[in-house]
Amino acid sequence: MTTLLALCGAAAMASSGPIAAAARRVGPRRADRLWVLLFVVGASLAAFAALLALASGGDELRAHAPFPVGEVALGLDALSALFLIAVAGLGAACACYGLAYYPAALHPDSAGRLRTAFGLASAGLAMVLLARHSLVFIAAWETMAVSSYFAVAAEDRDREVREAGFLYLVSTRVSSLCLIALFALHWAASGSLLLVPLGAGQIAPQIQSALFVLALLGFGLKAGLVPLHVWLPPAHSAAPTHVSALLSGVLIKSGIYGLVRITSLLPEPSPWWGEMVLALGVVSAVLGVAYALAQHDLKRLLAYHSVENIGIIAIGLGVALIARASAGLDTAALALAGALLHVVNHALFKGLLFLAAGAVIQRAHTRSLDALGGLGRSMPATALLFLLGAVAIVGLPPLNGFVSELLIYSSLLRMVASEDGASWISAALAAPALALTGGLALACFAKAFGTVFLGAPRHQSVSDGSDAPAAMRAPMVALALGCAFIGLAPFALAPALRNACEAVLGSALAPLAAPWRAISGVALASLALSAAGGAWLWLRLSRRPAPRTVTWDCGYAAPTQRMQYSAASFAQPLVRVFSSALLPREYGSAGVAPFPQRSAFHSEVVDAALDRIVLPSAHAVVRLAARLRVLQQGSVQQYLVYVWIAVIALLAVGGVGR
């Protein structure tokens, strides 16, 4: 029942775009509204089904299809349901936001295509979560990947967008290739296309490890684990902002879902799987946030934070895998619950941050941090919402990021405290790395919030002096309320998380060993104490109003707005510390002579993995491929010869194999 309901939701989301396109004659505004209505109905159906599944445990649908598909299975268990809620919730929020942010009236040639791509990508993602059959999974995965490419490349008149879109498309192809290999190997080893848990001893451990490595490559590429993240920052900054929010908030989580699902099917995880995921998570978290710190572009900065958060999620998954291999089920459940909760949390606060950034970009017409400033004055609601998102993403109480990071930390600390073998050493190295990540994220969001919303405008024409329209504000408020709810009342989610962990770990679990009441106590206390202090100060000020004057300028007579600390100068001490990883490039020089001349200084950090590894090797492949061109002369006869040779070769190989 729940699966069927979710299937209907996905169908509604998928058909929303074509229906709106068919109803074009009613005018662009009505077509937009019709699309949003259909999409939200579909998303609500899916979310309702997911809630039912979280409460009741979900069900499966099986049907028989003709060769080569065989028996088809769809299912909705607590794990899928948790992801599906995030997809439906954030999808609906982004769709509503698009009504005011990307109206068809202003984007006549791309809005229709974008609507269709948006609906198909969301529906594809929902189907990925429902699929329990390799071929269904691949079909849904491809639908999601290709349609999200069209969503990313919506504004393809821009050269930068086309290049980012191409990089994204290539990455999705490589990812799909790995997944096809994964499912082929799974089929060859288990004899079934169904994605059901394998029995112990059914597949050799080496095959299981090969399946794990293929899953890590294919899904890691989608999720954006370092060094497979190269497509992520360009795609996020090129896409329209509400698409970036969807991409970052839920689409890249399909990689996390796939990794969790596939590892849950494999009965005997080797200890090194978890160590590897943990190591990749630590590297992604630290490097992701270090790169974010060095960015001057608001959307690129947020995109690198997705890499960081995927890293944090991977740390949780790694700990869960390690603990599962050593039969520490309680620790595994705690780590997994932290990782899954962080998936939901990241959808909420990253969605919120991207949407707030979109509101800024729409008003200020620039993404460059060094041109912004002082927007808190003209856009107070957006500023407050961005601040809430920033506090949440840094993992600070009283919002939701704190809850999931505390769960992941707790699992690491439990591993240090109670395990004896090699695993506690990895945990003891990962915990300080996570702390460093937290500190860097704090610096980065203090920078982003400070340079965009605080101080004085660095540029004259930065804003037309109005806040975001209500249609854009409402989805942001909804996401912020979600952040606050999980932060203040995390215990409400405890049963759902436990169900999801049971679905993954395949055995009944004790209630999660997390200090739920204490977390909400800390959150409430910090909120109450700060509110009390604020109220006292406000009363003081209203009794004795403070005179307003200029900022203390240290005796310098003519400070200008351009002399404020910029995003680049704020980040400079930390960029210098991480210079061996970030390889910052600096041009020009600051005037240091006794009589300073006119001088210019510019610094930038480009992605080392893209610039030094991916692009050079891609060029090498292209050069090699050019030599193969002699084979391809365009004559059909020649191609038929190739086909004939290939068939003979396959027959020969098959004969030898037999």
Closest approach, Cβ 454 to another protein, in A, equals: 4
Closest approach, Cβ 393 to another protein, in A, equals: 11
Are 307 and 346 spatial neighbours (Cβ–Cβ below 8 Å)? no
Q: Which is nearer to another protein, 576 or 612 (CB)?
A: 576
Q: Which is nearer to another protein, 492 or 537 (CB)?
A: 537
Closest approach, Cβ 136 to another protein, in A, equals: 40
Return d(Cα 565, Cα 136) in angstroms, integer. 53
Q: What are the residues facing 429 on neighbouring strands?
A: none
Closest approach, Cβ 329 to another protein, in A, equals: 17
Return d(Cα 226, Cα 609) in angstroms, integer. 8
Q: Which is nearer to another protein, 17 or 374 (CB)?
A: 374
Return the closest-CA partner of residue 487 out of 316, 348, 380, 310.
Answer: 348
Q: What are the residues facing 64 on neighbouring strands?
A: 71
Q: Which is nearer to another protein, 558 or 656 (CB)?
A: 558
Rg (CA), the chain: 26
Q: Is the peptide bond before 227 cis (omega within 30 degrees of 0)?
A: yes
Q: Which is nearer to another protein, 150 or 409 (CB)?
A: 409
The CB density around residue 74, as the number of other CB atoms within 10 Å, is 21
Closest approach, Cβ 563 to another protein, in A, equals: 5
Closest approach, Cβ 262 to another protein, in A, equals: 30
Kindly list the distances between the CA atom of residue 622 and the CA atoms of 221, 231, 302, 342, 616, in Å, as whole numbers in the listed order: 21, 19, 32, 40, 10
Closest approach, Cβ 380 to another protein, in A, equals: 8
Closest approach, Cβ 24 to another protein, in A, equals: 45
Closest approach, Cβ 479 to another protein, in A, equals: 20
Return the closest-CA partner of residue 406 out of 502, 465, 490, 291.
Answer: 490
Q: Which is nearer to another protein, 207 or 522 (CB)?
A: 522
| Amino acid identity at 638 | Q
**Six-digit token string for 250:** 């839920």
b/e 83-112 (16+ beta carbons within 10 angstroms → b):
bbbbbbbbbbbbbbbbbbbbebeebeebbb
Q: Which is nearer to another protein, 55 or 522 (CB)?
A: 522
Q: Which is nearer to another protein, 89 or 338 (CB)?
A: 338
Q: Which is nearer to another protein, 224 or 455 (CB)?
A: 455
The CB density around residue 502, as the number of other CB atoms within 10 Å, is 17
Alpha helices in 23-74 (DSSP H): 28-56
Return d(Cα 273, Cα 339) in angstroms, integer. 16
Closest approach, Cβ 500 to another protein, in A, equals: 21
| Amino acid identity at 16 | S
Are 195 and 137 spatial neighbours (Cβ–Cβ below 8 Å)? yes
Closest approach, Cβ 141 to another protein, in A, equals: 36
Q: Which is nearer to another protein, 207 or 429 (CB)?
A: 429
Q: What's the CA angle centered on 47, arms 45 and 53, to 5 degrees? A: 105
Return d(Cα 582, Cα 576) in angstroms, integer. 9
The CB density around residue 384, as the number of other CB atoms within 10 Å, is 16
Q: Say whether 588 sits in a helix, a strand or coil.
A: strand
Q: Which is nearer to another protein, 89 or 450 (CB)?
A: 450
